[in-house]
Structure 1
Amino acid sequence: MTMHCHKPGAALSPILRPGTAELVAGKGPLLIEWVARHGSPVNLIWPDELQRNLAVLTGVLRESGVAHALYYGAKVNKSPGLLAAALCAGAGIDVSSLYELRDARRLGADGTQLVATGPAKTAAFHIELIDCNALISVDSPEELEDLIRLLPAGGGPVQAVLLRLRPTNQARSRFGMPAAAIRHCLSRIAGESRLRFDGLHFHLSGYSWESRAQAVGEAAGLISESRAQGFAPCMIDIGGGLPIQYVDQRAYQVHLDSQMPEDYRTGKVPASFYPYGGGLSAAEWLRCLLRAPMADGRSFANYLVHEGLVLGMEPGRALADQAAISVFRVLRVKAVGPDAHVVFVEGSSFSACETWFGSEFLVDPILVPAISPPVAAKPIRAYLAGHSCLDEDVLCNRWLTFPIAPRAGDLLVYANTGGYQMDLLENEFHRHPMPSRLCVVQDAKGQPTLVPDT
């Protein structure tokens, strides 16, 4: 049963893939057995869901006739199973550290399947990227000089680079470069035979396709300039930021419109939230961007086709949509007032981390009772806390009304935690072991079973 917010009609029930809904609603004993075997919390992964998401986005691009290069943003989740699924489905991998690079290489990725877009690359990271001839997005003139110093002196493959643009609508960002710096880098590349300029990259904050359309217009102007100088760029890379829908749009808006400070145990409504109930799916968002008009009246899609440009993208969260859940076991329920409780779980908010960013994961957890509740069970009002000694270790600051009081051994399931949620901050505080992460597959009888996430 799904927990509801304390305001009538303001529930935020998660959107669930059919397999997850069946597991949570009909296979509670199996979930309890898995947690007993592997500990709490346990993170369950569906790699095939990433492949379905990838197929949907690829379908939109093919409909538009746009040449494309999709890279899974590895930073979104530490699961090797999701990396492997992306590679098996023909996607590349966006690596933002030496260690993400090595993981991708261990799973069989070659340089043509890799792009490095992070802004703070170490020398060791640069060297291994050069060695496998991965595509490198250069964040600044300073990084370009560092990269040139590391290029082999005796020839070898020409190193392909993108230049990361900082559009005018992101003027306060520390990432990327303004147009003047892009021009400076082009003049530097023109005199360096070991480098090849393959195009422009940007990665914007927020989830607006309109801001991407504006940035595309700036990029198009620089692409034209570079071609006039003799360069042959082949790509515009728009980064990530494709939205996903966690909860029903109308329910989400009702919740936002009705929430007040007393809805939170902190007495404060967070200043910002991810758009959990946004109006567009990732596919719809991409269609909007491809249809956006350029300055000359052509759509973005037509511009790419007519100019012979590849559309590069690094979706992370959008490819991990519905690919994971996190399951916590209830430790105990403690009264903290006449009509207020705290539900302690075995695990911490490091594995459900939105509260650490001054925000809230606006998706109701799902209660899976370990045994049938008493007939006379009453609802209780509570928030969720982890098992550490930190007052800030809170999974949910919202006051939730539980249809029945949770009891020790019950499970709380957070849906759709694959994107920047379940393992972004995980650690071994208090020497608790890292949460288990396992892939859910079907056995020979078509029943869900677990395999190591490798």
Structure 2
Amino acid sequence: MTLHCQKIGHGLPPILRSATADLLTIHGPLLFDWAARHGSPLNLVWPDALQENLAALKGVLTDCRVEHAIYYGAKVNKSPGLMQAALSAGAGLDVSSLYELRDARLLGAEGVRLVATGPAKTGAFHQELIDCNALISVDPPGRLEDLIHGLPADVGPQPILLRLRPRNQSKSRFGMPADAVVHCLARLAGESRLRFDGLNFHLSGYLWETRVAALSEAADLIAEARRMGFSPRMIDIGGGLPIQYVDRARYEAHLAAQAPEDYRNGKIPDSFYPYGSNLSAADWLHRLLEAEMSQGRSVAGYLAREGLTLAMEPGRALADQAAITVFLISRVKALGPDSHVIFVEGSSFSACETWFASEFLVDPILVPATRPAAQSPPIRAYLAGHSCLDEDVLSNRWLSFPIAPHAGDLLVYANTGGYQMDLLENEFHRHAMPARLCVVKDAEGHPILVPDTIGEV
């Protein structure tokens, strides 16, 4: 559902699932209690939302009769609750560091439940991946040699993928061109300790059409690998499935109407994440599977005929609607007759896309601590973090509030589960790291908090 937060003009209220909307309305007093007990900002996580998203993707794959392996991209959020939810629902985990791997193993993931697709693998990371027989993506060819040299003499077949750099990603530093993939296959021909399981790629952008083109390139290499005597079983398309933060029509209207004066610094960012996507992740996946590859075959038909598993590592798409971040307003300062700055308590907000010269185009929701005694005039304001730096802002975009915020009110950013909660977190000014807790229901169906730690999930 869409909760129409207190905004005027070309606002961008977030799309909310019902559990989140209920917390902000029916159970609103809980937010103040939780913020008082656990501090600001407060990150709240709904593991069941991830399982709903996973079920939607699995439903599309099953309907299209595609063998599949879905791995939750753990780098998107360091919540153990979300990792455990993925494992409990039958997904695996894509780990991008030694530390993510160790957490995954503490949660019980081993072998086929683990894949490491990222390009930055240390020797220690490789060794622990080998120890649990995880699926390892190799890039570039030199890393193949490193992996071979690190293999014990008596190790069983270690499964690997070779990371392809498709032609439409020629400027990327990740992946290998087709000729380098063939070179690696020739090197693998005499190495019995490694098992070539297939190819993977991870593309920039969110177009299913570019994935179809990359799949066509991968299909040629799969055929070449079989001619060379290999038995590949998988093509892994990475992530990049879109999600819908805000209503598409509102989003497009906002982009069309925005002007430099809508930003405190007078600059419209050059690019934005597609917050108002016209496709859900499930719709995107359905279009991909129905798309034609070659000779009239759909992607789904090709995979079925070749006996291949389609693997993927969604991050945001599985964390969609799985978290919110709650800020306590510490003060509101007038900058002029029609402009204010709202200061929020706690460490800098990772959803602050301003660190990347962009903007988080989702409006925060104002939750007043008390009902206003009288209707106040609307104000416009931008949001600032707690530090002594002028550029430490949560939003350069001027936000309109029909009811003036006050110290003690809450501002809630919705849908912060995807990269928005911990990418830039730090203890600057010695503030404690934000608390992260899971929201579950008690026996009577009321929301309660449980620790988001490995020992509790």
Q: Place the TM-score, normalised by the shorter chain, in its bin.
A: over 0.9
Residue in 1 that maps onto 2:354: 355
Q: How does 1:96-245 map to 2 (within 5 A)?
A: 96-153=96-153, 155-245=154-244
Q: Distance in 2 between matches of 1:391 and 1:103?
A: 37
User: SS where residue 58 of structure 2 aligns?
Assistant: helix
Q: In 2, Cα distance between the equivalents of 1:373 and 1:103?
A: 46
Q: Within 2, Cα distance between the matches of 1:391 and 1:184?
A: 52
Report the Cα distance in structure 2 between the residues aligned to 1:156 and 1:278, rounded to whole angstroms.
Answer: 46
SS in 2 for 1:367: strand
Between the two proteins, what is the percent identity of the paired residues?
A: 72
Instruction: Name the residue aligned to 2:7.
Output: 4
Match of 2:26 in 1: 26
- Separation (CA, whole Å) in 2 of partners of 1:218 and 1:349: 43
State the alpha-carbon separation in 1 of the partners of residues 349 and 398 from structure 2. Answer: 20
Structure 2 CA distance for aligned equivalents of residues 342 and 352 of structure 1: 18
Partner of 2:263: 264
> Once the two structures are superposed, what CA deviation does each residue of 1:222-246 show, in whole Å capped at 9, x if it has no partner?
0001101110000000000000000
- Alpha-carbon offset, residue 11 of structure 1: 1.3
Query: For residues 48 and 433 of structure 1, what CA distance do their matches in structure 2 show?
Result: 27
**Runs of 4+ residues over 4 Å off in structure 1:** none
Letter paired with 1:33: D
Contact 1:95 1:117 (8 Å CA) reproduced: yes
1-structure distance, mates of 2:15, 2:447? 20
- The 3 A distance-change label for structure 1 pair 399 and 369 is same
Secondary structure of the residue aligned to 1:343 is strand
Match in the other structure for 1:56: 56
Normalising by structure 1, report the TM-score.
0.98
User: In 2, distance between residues paired with 1:396 and 1:422?
Assistant: 15
Using the alignment, how far apart are the partners of 1:263 and 1:272 within structure 2? 16
1:352-382 CA deviation, whole Å, 9 max, x = no partner?
2311111111001000001111213221110
Contact 1:353 1:424 in 2 (8 A): no
Counterpart-to-counterpart distance in 1, 2:105 and 2:216: 35
Shift of 1:326: 0.2
Which amino acid in structure 2 is aligned with residue 296 of structure 1? Answer: Q
The answer (yes or no) to whether the contact 1:28–1:370 under 8 Å persists in 2 is no
1:234-288: CA deviation from partner (whole Å, max 9, x where unpaired)? 0000000000000000000000010011100010000000100010000000001
Deviation at 1:3? 3.7
Q: Please, what TM-score do these two structures have when normalized by structure 2?
A: 0.97
Indicate conservation of the 8 Å contact 1:165/1:176, yes or no: yes
Distance in 2 of aligned mates of 1:387 and 1:374? 29
Aligned 8 A contact 1:69 1:310 in 2? yes
Q: Which moved more, 1:423-432 or 1:73-82?
A: 423-432
What is residue 317 of structure 1 aligned with on the other side? 316
Query: Residue 365 of structure 2 contacts residue 413 of structure 2 at CA under 8 Å; is this kept in 1?
Result: yes
Task: Provide the C-alpha distance between the structure 2 equivalents of 1:395 and 1:315, rounded to a whole number of angstroms.
Answer: 26
Q: Deviations over 1:322-374 (max 9, x none)?
A: 00000000000001122110000002443323111111110010000011112
Q: Deviations over 1:8-30 (max 9, x none)?
A: 2x111100000100111222211
The one-letter code matched in structure 1 to 2:184 is C
Counterparts of 2:413 and 2:370, CA distance in 1: 20
In the aligned structure 2, how far is the partner of 1:176 from the partner of 1:40?
Answer: 40
Deviation digits for residues 120-175 of structure 1, max 9, x if unmatched?
A: 1000000000010000000110110110010002x221111000000000000000
Which amino acid counterpart does residue 94 of structure 1 have in structure 2? Answer: D
- Are 1:418 and 2:417 counterparts? yes
Work out the CA distance in 2 between the residues paired with 1:87 and 1:28. 31
Distance across 2 between alignment mates of 1:443 and 1:20: 16
Mean Cα deviation higher: 330-339 or 123-132: 330-339
Distance 2:202 2:219 in 1: 15
Check whether the contact 2:41–2:346 (CA below 8 A) recurs between aligned residues.
yes
- Identify the range of structure 1 (404-413 vs 376-385) with the bigger mean alpha-carbon deviation: 376-385
**Partner in structure 2 of residue 452 of structure 1:** 451
